[in-house]
């Protein structure tokens, strides 16, 4: 038995060496199979890479399209199709649902080509990608109340669409961006209302009044504004601020005469 321990130790050493060798071979193999955009499709012309990339997009082979357009961007950065390829990369990443990469590609295009005739598309796709980045699979299939979630990406998306509308008021993407903004405004307003009601239910009336006031001030037109005014009046009542309460009720009755404050 005394002689078995050295043998076992020797076997363990051999096993470690074999495992280490296998791991190293795996790393070498993985490195050798990775594709460098500067080396890909070297036997093809810029036109061939570009056209086959477009065909890949039409066939919904988005990974192949991305490889081709990125190769084109690296190998022919000043070619006739380089800028169009960068726009297609944004779209391909979006269709692959790799929204972070789509946003990064859009940011790059906006930074490098701020005066490009199609830069409005990059702004639009950045907004859409930021929007869907915060949407789970179920949320894309059914209506889910986003007001209960972290809405940082939603706010980014709203800002992206707003920037598009301000910078490019004549863009063909403005009507769609405006529709997104209306929906996002309502979601953000509901979110503020939910927080305000949370504070009110916990008798933090100053906080609830402030949230409701911010909702009314920043989200005009959202359905939640009505409930925001009601929450303001109730919060001021609890705080004993009669003048502010009556002013709020006056605004509420003038703009929404059919609302029952005590319902």
CATH number of residue 206's parent domain: 1.25.40.10
Q: Which of 9-13, 34-38, 47-51, 239-243 has the least mean pLDDT?
A: 9-13
pTM, two decimals, is 0.74
Task: Establish if 37 belongs to a structural domain.
Answer: no
150 phi/psi in degrees, rounded to 5: -70, 120
Mean pLDDT over 110-132 rounds to 95
Mean pLDDT over 59-66 rounds to 94
pLDDT of residue 262: 64
Q: Which of 41-50, 98-107, 246-255 has the least mean pLDDT?
A: 41-50
Domain co-membership, 197 together with 263:
yes
Which pLDDT band holds residue 257 (cuts at 50, 70, 90)? Answer: confident
Task: Establish if 40 belongs to a structural domain.
Answer: no
Domain co-membership, 86 together with 55:
yes
CA 34 to chain CA mean position, Å: 28
User: What is the per-residue burial (b if ≥16 Cβ within 10 Å, else e) of 166-202?
Assistant: eebeebebbeebeebbeebbbbbbbbbbebbbebbee
By the 8 A CB rule, do 48 and 69 touch? no
pLDDT per residue as tens digits for the range 181-235:
999 999 889 989 999 999 999 999 999 999 999 999 999 999 999 999 999 999 9
Domain co-membership, 168 together with 120:
yes
pLDDT of residue 90: 97
Domain co-membership, 194 together with 262:
yes
Task: Establish if 67 belongs to a structural domain.
Answer: yes
Task: Establish if 17 belongs to a structural domain.
Answer: no
Measured CA to CA in angstroms, residue 160 lies from 53, 82, 106, 124, 261 at distances of 28, 24, 11, 7, 37
More confident position, 177 or 46: 177
State the average pLDDT for the chain.
Answer: 83
Task: Establish if 247 belongs to a structural domain.
Answer: yes
- pLDDT surpassing 50 at residue 157: yes
Domain co-membership, 201 together with 251:
yes
Q: End of a domain among 139, 172, 205?
A: 172
Q: Which of 142-156, 215-229, 247-261 has the least mean pLDDT?
A: 142-156
Total domain count, the chain: 3
Domain co-membership, 121 together with 163:
yes
Mean pLDDT over 97-110 rounds to 96
Domain co-membership, 103 together with 157:
yes
Domain co-membership, 78 together with 146:
no
* Token pair for 43: 């036997």
Alpha helices for the chain (secondary structure H): 4-33, 46-58, 62-75, 82-95, 99-112, 119-133, 137-141, 152-167, 174-201, 205-218, 224-239, 242-255
Domain co-membership, 104 together with 163:
yes
Measured CA to CA in angstroms, residue 142 lies from 135, 145, 189 at distances of 11, 10, 20
Domain co-membership, 87 together with 112:
no
Domain co-membership, 219 together with 249:
yes
Instruction: Give the whole-angstrom CA distance, residue 205 versus residue 167.
Output: 40
Which pLDDT band holds residue 127 (cuts at 50, 70, 90)? Answer: very high
pLDDT of residue 231: 96
Task: Establish if 185 belongs to a structural domain.
Answer: no
* Token pair for 67: 């490889």
Q: What percent of the chain is predicted at pLDDT more than 70?
A: 78
Which pLDDT band holds residue 100 (cuts at 50, 70, 90)? Answer: very high
- pLDDT surpassing 70 at residue 7: no
- pLDDT surpassing 90 at residue 58: yes
- pLDDT surpassing 80 at residue 241: yes
Instruction: Give the whole-angstrom CA distance, residue 43 versus residue 59.
Output: 22
Which pLDDT band holds residue 62 (cuts at 50, 70, 90)? Answer: very high
Task: Establish if 210 belongs to a structural domain.
Answer: yes
Tell me the residue range of the domain where 85 lies.
45-96
* Token pair for 34: 């990775």
- pLDDT surpassing 90 at residue 259: no
pLDDT of residue 32: 38
pLDDT of residue 33: 41
Q: End of a domain among 73, 96, 119?
A: 96
Q: What percent of the chain is predicted at pLDDT more than 90?
A: 61
Secondary structure (DSSP) of 101-164: HHHHHHHHHHHH-TT-TTHHHHHHHHHHHHHHHT--HHHHHS---GGGS--HHHHHHHHHHHHH
Domain co-membership, 210 together with 249:
yes
Task: Establish if 18 belongs to a structural domain.
Answer: no
């Amino acid at each position: 038995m005394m002689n078995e321990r050295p043998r076992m130790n020797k076997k363990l050493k051999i096993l470690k060496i074999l495992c280490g060798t296998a791991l190293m071979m795996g790393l070498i193999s993985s490195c050798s199979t990775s594709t460098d955009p500067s080396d890909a499709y070297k036997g093809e012309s810029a036109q061939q890479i570009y056209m086959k990339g477009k065909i890949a997009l039409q066939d919904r082979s988005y990974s192949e399209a991305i490889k081709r357009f990125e190769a084109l961007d690296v190998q022919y950065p000043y070619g006739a199709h380089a800028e169009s390829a960068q726009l297609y990369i944004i779209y391909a990443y979006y269709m692959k649902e790799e929204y972070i990469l789509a946003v990064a590609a859009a940011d790059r295009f906006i930074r490098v080509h701020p005066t490009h005739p199609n830069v409005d598309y990059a702004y639009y796709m950045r907004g859409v990608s930021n929007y869907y980045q915060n949407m789970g699979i179920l949320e894309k299939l059914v209506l889910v109340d986003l007001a209960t979630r972290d809405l940082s990406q939603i706010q980014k998306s709203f800002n992206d669409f707003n920037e598009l509308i301000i910078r490019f008021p004549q863009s063909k993407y403005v009507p769609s961006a405006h529709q997104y903004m209306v929906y996002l405004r309502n979601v953000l307003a509901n979110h503020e209302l939910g927080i305000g009601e949370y504070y009110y239910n916990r008798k933090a009336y100053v906080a609830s009044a402030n949230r409701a006031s911010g909702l009314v001030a920043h989200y005009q037109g959202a359905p939640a504004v009505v409930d925001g005014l009601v929450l303001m009046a109730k919060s001021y009542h609890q705080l004993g601020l009669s003048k502010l309460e009556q002013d709020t009720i006056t605004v509420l009755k003038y703009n929404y005469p059919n609302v029952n404050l005590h319902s």
